[in-house]
Structure 1
Amino acid sequence: MSGTVIISLIGTLVGMLITVGGVFIAVGGLKQKIHDSVETNKAQEEHIKTLASKDELAKAIKRSDELLVLMQKRADEDRLSGERKYTELYGLLNVHSERIGKLEVSQAQVFKMLDKLDSNINNGFKDMKEDIRELRKAIKKE
């Protein structure tokens, strides 16, 4: 073999090595790009999930704000209703107080009426007891 053939073979071999090395470098670069792309996709998915959870959180905050406004509105309505009822009751109390003040009944007269009522009730019970006794006697005879 002559020197030119050997040099040509060495040149071809070096060219092939450079080509194979270039292919390995290209494949390695592609692998890195694919890996970077996968990592980017994962990061984008996480970002989308974060945005979705932020959106859900914003919706929940909005709903809680709406509920808070509604509860405040109901509390205000209840307070106003309570104030109206208090005013009505206070007015009725004043009216009754005036009526009681106008009554000229002494304490002795009130006690006298209560005693009379008590005796009427007792007499009514006595009459009922007598009626029950008579009814029992009638039942025993039969």
Structure 2
Amino acid sequence: MIALIQRVSQAKVDVNGQTVGQIGGGLLVLLGVEKEDSKEKADKLAEKVLNYRIFGDKNDKMNLNVQQTDGELLVVSQFTLAADTGRGLRPSFSKGAPPQLANELYQYFVQKCGEKVRVETGKFAENMQVSLTNDGPVTFWLKV
């Protein structure tokens, strides 16, 4: 399971011209689910995302996590994170989870994070337009 996390001052996701998820300060989480992923991996990744210290403290050091800053999450499914780009000029998605498993684990991840912070989402398997103001910029690739 992969999360590309970006520290944002704001982010939103639109589907068919309608905003379906929007946050102020916090994290935009692009979530990719692979074939071998499980609820246990989702638990580990949720814990890591929620506790990853990438927000500045009073000395502007990255010592605080999203919970400590009362931040929010915008979680967007992104199967392309599971792509194999090692060969040729076209990505392979053979490592990606089938849609049913991917959606189940995506929803589970959102639920787990929602137990600790406010979470907004995109729409699974829809064409989405994501906009954000990256704060920093600060972006990390997390994989469990």
**Shorter-chain TM-score range:** under 0.3
TM-score normalized by structure 2? 0.19
Q: Greater strand share, 1 or 2? A: 2
TM-score normalized by structure 1? 0.19
Larger radius of gyration: 1
Relative contact order (C-alpha < 8 Å, sep 6+): which is higher? 2
